[in-house]
């Protein structure tokens, strides 16, 4: 059995400062889950935060591939109203966290429809 060393948050941020936004959302109460493929190998990390009206989610696949979205709850129209695919973890997470809540001025409200060419 392989022992895994524990790395403190401070040590992780010293080595990988781009993780600061992930630490911030963890501290704000977001839920984190590891994403694994069929053979159990790690694909990435998912983080989500749900409110009555919406769920915000971030998917980190590596240091240069991160995707985020906001999805409205069915009772509030349903569907994805914001999406960003980028290569800067901090930028993508900050942009998502800067979104106003649904119904507030400047909040995204148009549902983004997927096309038959869209692949998750």
3 state SS for the chain: CCCCCCCCHHHHHHHCHHHHHHHHHHHCCCEEEEEECCCCCEEEEEEEEECCCEEEEEEEEECCEEEEEEEECHHHCCEEEEEEEECCHHHHHHHHHCCCCCCCCCCCCCCCCCCCCCCC
* Look-up of token digits 């991160």: 66
Whether 19 contacts 90, CB under 8 Å: no
- Residue 113's pLDDT is what? 80
What is the pLDDT confidence band of residue 98, given thresholds at 50, 70 and 90? very high
Relative to beta strand 79-86, strand 65-72 is antiparallel
Task: Give the tens place of pLDDT for each residue, 43-81.
Answer: 999 999 999 999 999 999 998 999 999 999 999 889 999
Asked if residue 44 is part of any domain, the answer here is yes
Task: Decide if 41 is inside a domain.
Answer: yes
- 2: in domain: no
Task: Using pLDDT thresholds of 50, 70 and 90, give the confidence band for residue 102.
Answer: very high
Residue 3: predicted pLDDT: 63
Q: Is residue 92 part of a domain?
A: yes
Instruction: Judge whether 61 lies within some domain.
Output: yes
- Of the pLDDT bands very low, low, confident and very high (cuts 50, 70, 90), residue 115 is low
Question: Which range of residues forms the domain containing residue 88?
Answer: 30-108
Residue 15 inside a domain? The answer is no
Residue 42 lies in a domain: yes
Closest by Cα among 51, 41, 35 to 97: 51
Structure tokens at 26: 């963890």
* Total number of domains constituting the chain: 1
């Amino acid at each position: 059995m392989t022992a895994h060393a524990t790395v403190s948050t401070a040590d992780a941020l010293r080595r990988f400062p781009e993780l600061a936004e992930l630490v911030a959302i963890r501290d704000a109460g977001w839920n984190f889950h590891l994403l694994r493929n069929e053979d159990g190998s790690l694909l990435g990390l998912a983080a989500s935060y749900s409110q009555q009206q919406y769920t915000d989610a971030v998917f980190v696949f590596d240091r240069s591939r991160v995707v985020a979205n906001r999805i409205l709850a069915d009772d509030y129209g349903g569907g994805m109203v914001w999406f960003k695919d980028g290569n800067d973890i901090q930028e993508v997470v900050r942009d998502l966290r800067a979104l106003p809540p649904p119904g507030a001025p400047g909040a995204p409200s148009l549902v983004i429809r997927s096309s038959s060419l869209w692949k998750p």
